[in-house]
Amino acid sequence: MSADKPPRFSSALGDIVARCWQKAAMPADWGLTREQFQRALERSAAHRFPQSIPDGRVVAGYLESLHLKDLALACACSAGDSIAWEYFVHHYRPELYRAARVILSRSGSNESKSRELADCLYAELYGLRETTDGKRRSLFDYFHGRSKLSTWLHAILAQRYVDEIRHTQKTRSLDDPGEDAGKGNGDAAILPETKVITPDPERDAFLAMMQACLTAALVALAPRDRLRLAYYYVDDLTLAQIGKLLGEHEATVSRKLERTRTDLRQCVEMELREEKKLSEAQLQLCFEYARQQWPFDLTRALSARD
């Protein structure tokens, strides 16, 4: 169900909202209004009962069974309340990091990779996309309170990881013999595999092209974007620490890091494709070599502070 779907339960809620509002017991400084909370309840009820509106007692029983404080927190964060966001980050960031480590543990990824998976979620939670009327679309709008917020966040992280693996598989070269290796193996089909590549005599040349393109793309970045990358990857600062240094919200830092990573990837791909005249297979091979042992000194490339 779309988060923008008009509510159908306003007339059926009666005094249920007041009881749920009281049970949520949220801090007064979150800045959440009862009207905002009611809209979240309406979305949840419409998601649970998509066909028709049942008896009021059934609706009341359902709404009062929700994790109401979690729903209120999600609603306040979706509205952009800074106090609610501080509460969320303080209480849920360690949980997100733990969940990301568990998700990536079977792939042998390091701590930095698991932290990146968790941190990238902040941008979506705050709202990356905009609706047709120019408003932010927060991922929190899709939390309906039926599960704990922590459980829902775990599921979102896991899905993002699966999406990333599927995207990686889709972009493999068509002549890759391992393309179908995981089919018919259940969950094993979405787990990362070690790809064996026949040694390419042009490997060094491909990596040199990649290094030149990435260096040029980094140099072309706006100084603030390059500084943000340096703080995160070179100085190993957290999103909160970077936000304090740059005067930005954590969600803003996460969103801008994600945008910069996307821009860098697109810039490098375009340069390799259009200027270096690489085929799609060669392009994918470049990235595959780079994901292996590549002596590119990112620290040195980002150390020049403007």
Residue 180: predicted pLDDT: 40
121, 22: one domain: yes
Report the alpha-carbon distance of residue 52 to residue 293 in Å, rounded: 57
66, 201: one domain: no
CA angle 196, 200, 202 (to 5 degrees): 145
Report the alpha-carbon distance of residue 191 to residue 199 in Å, rounded: 24
Domain boundary (133, 161, 189) is at 161
What CATH number has the domain bearing residue 236? 1.10.10.10
201, 155: one domain: no
152, 220: one domain: no
Residue 169 lies in a domain: no
Residue type, 66: L
219, 139: one domain: no
Q: Which of 255, 8, 295 is nearest to 138 (CA)?
A: 255
Residue 191 lies in a domain: no
pLDDT in single tens digits along all 306 residues of the chain: 445 554 555 655 768 888 999 999 888 889 899 889 999 998 998 888 887 777 778 888 889 999 999 999 999 999 989 999 999 999 999 888 888 888 777 666 667 777 888 888 888 888 765 555 566 678 899 999 988 898 889 888 887 877 777 666 544 443 444 444 333 333 333 333 334 334 455 677 777 888 888 888 888 888 899 889 888 887 778 888 898 889 998 888 988 998 998 889 899 889 888 888 888 878 877 887 777 656 666 666 776 444
Report the alpha-carbon distance of residue 153 to residue 125 in Å, rounded: 10
Both tokens assigned to 48:
């649970």
Residue 138 lies in a domain: yes
287, 208: one domain: yes
Residue 281 lies in a domain: yes
Residue 83: predicted pLDDT: 93
Helices 250-270 and 111-126: crossing angle, nearest 10°?
110
203, 155: one domain: no
Both tokens assigned to 114:
């698991």
Residue 175 lies in a domain: no
Residue 21: predicted pLDDT: 92
Torsion angle of the four alpha carbons 17, 20, 25, 27, in this order, in degrees rounded to the nearest 10: -40
Residue 163: predicted pLDDT: 73
Residue 171 lies in a domain: no
Structural domain of 237: 197-302
Q: What is the sign of the dihedral through the CA atoms of 252, 255, 259 and 265?
A: positive
150, 258: one domain: no
143, 203: one domain: no
265, 202: one domain: yes
Number of domains in the chain: 2
Q: Is the pTM of this model over 0.85?
A: no
What is the 3-class SS of the chain, one letter each residue? Answer: CCCCCCCCCHHHHCCHHHHHHHHHCCCHHHCCCHHHHHHHHHHHHHHHCCCCCCCHHHHHHHHHCCCHHHHHHHHHHHCCCHHHHHHHHHHHHHHHHHHHHHHHHHHCCCHHHHHHHHHHHHHHHHCCEECCCCCEECHHHHCCCCCCHHHHHHHHHHHHHHHHHHHHHHCCCCCCCCCCCCCCCHHHHHCCCCCCCCCCCCHHHHHHHHHHHHHHHHHHCCHHHHHHHHHHHHCCCCHHHHHHHHCCCHHHHHHHHHHHHHHHHHHHHHHHHHHCCCCHHHHHHHHHHHHCCCCCCHHHHHCCCC
15, 156: one domain: yes
Report the alpha-carbon distance of residue 265 to residue 24 in Å, rounded: 44
Residue 305: predicted pLDDT: 45
Domain boundary (143, 161, 179) is at 161
- Contact between 31 and 83 (Cβ < 8 Å): yes
Both tokens assigned to 272:
């390799």
Residue 114 lies in a domain: yes
Residue 220: predicted pLDDT: 85
The distance between the two most distant Cα atoms of the chain, rounded to a whole number of Å, is 74
Residue 50: predicted pLDDT: 81
133, 206: one domain: no
Residue 84: predicted pLDDT: 93
Residue 157 lies in a domain: yes
Query: Is 125 buried (19+), middle (13-18) or exposed (0-12) by CB count in 10 A?
Result: buried
- Contact between 167 and 110 (Cβ < 8 Å): no
